[in-house]
Structure 1
Amino acid sequence: MGKDSKPSSKGKGKQAAAGGEDSASKGKGKGGKSGDGLGTCTYVKARHVLCEKQGKINEAYKKLQDGWLNNGDKVPPAEFAKIAAEYSECPSGKKGGDLGWFPRGKMAGPFQEVAFNTPVGATSAPFKSTHGYHIILCEGRKN
């Protein structure tokens, strides 16, 4: 993975689901909200897996890939929750990684960047923050 925790606002392609600001204008709106979603909302609802070691987060991501990501990037929240309960070292892991709704500005650096730029229903690639290694499932967004 390397240094993919750059907090730059350009959103370069290290996080597969976080395509940067450009992706909002490329017609990714499968839910009928084509241009308004990525990076412009005020709140995001997300689940995550947090691991201290890169090897452990990669193992969790591989399970997601083998089960769902190779079939269109849509992991059901209940299935993501099982992976979070099994792998996450965050207290939220007991709740399936559920972070609920949080506003822009609450989460730090790369976590916020990825959370607010991951399309609804999509799962981010593993990335590093100051707390460890994460995978995020974006469940919703609102203003």
Structure 2
Amino acid sequence: MAPKGKSKNSSSKPDNSAGEDQKKLKAANVIKTRHILCEKHSKVIEALEKLSAGQKFDAVAREYSEDKARQGGDLGWKPRGSLTRVYEDAAYALQPSTIDKPIYTNPPIKSSFGYHIIMVEGRR
């Protein structure tokens, strides 16, 4: 039987980063995302280490994110086309997850704003 909160088809890999699950995603035009934005690569790597150690996504975002989404990294519901292309491409490829057990981009995504670690909380 699959662990609570995971589908029978989910991978048992310890890495919570995006993987082959993107093949099973349903089409969406709006997503609810959180992110951690860091200007420096070394700082975003520190944030990844904290996530890998099991810290909650929102706590790491409050500590490391360098933008207005410091309140847990929540960007809210965003329609397709409202975020930068590279961010959207990565976000729409992720399975929804929770801040307690996030599925996030690893390696971080580089945009004109800096380095993002992205997780998706919902799709519609």
TM-score, normalised relative to structure 1: 0.66
1:123 maps to what in 2? 104
Q: Is the Cα contact below 8 Å between 1:18 and 1:114 reproduced in 2?
A: no
Q: Secondary structure at the match of 2:104?
A: coil
Q: Is the Cα contact below 8 Å between 1:18 and 1:124 reproduced in 2?
A: no
1:6-57 CA-to-partner distances (Å, cap 9, x unmatched) read xxxxxxxxxx5165xx932xxxxxxxxxx452xx200000110000000000
Deviant stretches of 4+, over 6 Å: none
Percent identity, aligned pairs only, is 41
Residue pairs, 1:1-143, within 5 angstroms: 16-17=17-18, 23-24=22-23, 35-37=24-26, 40-67=27-54, 79-93=56-70, 95-121=71-97, 122-125=103-106, 126-142=108-124
Q: Distance in 2 between matches of 1:53 and 1:85?
A: 16
Structure 2: gaps of 5 or more residues: 1-16, 98-102
Q: Distance in 2 between matches of 1:42 and 1:109?
A: 14
Structure 1: gaps of 5 or more residues: 1-15, 25-34, 69-78
Q: Distance in 2 between matches of 1:54 and 1:36?
A: 29
Q: Is the Cα contact below 8 Å between 1:82 and 1:96 reproduced in 2?
A: yes
Task: Look up the equivalent residue of 1:120 and give its one-letter code.
Answer: P
Task: Look up the equivalent residue of 1:104 and give its one-letter code.
Answer: R
- Figure out how many residues of one structure are paired with residues of the other and give that number: 102
Q: Secondary structure at the match of 2:28?
A: coil
Higher helix proportion: 1
Q: Distance in 1 between matches of 2:83 and 2:73?
A: 15
TM-score, normalised relative to structure 2: 0.76
1:73-122 CA-to-partner distances (Å, cap 9, x unmatched) read xxxxxx211100000001111x1100000000001121010111111112
Aligned Cα root-mean-square deviation (Å): 1.7
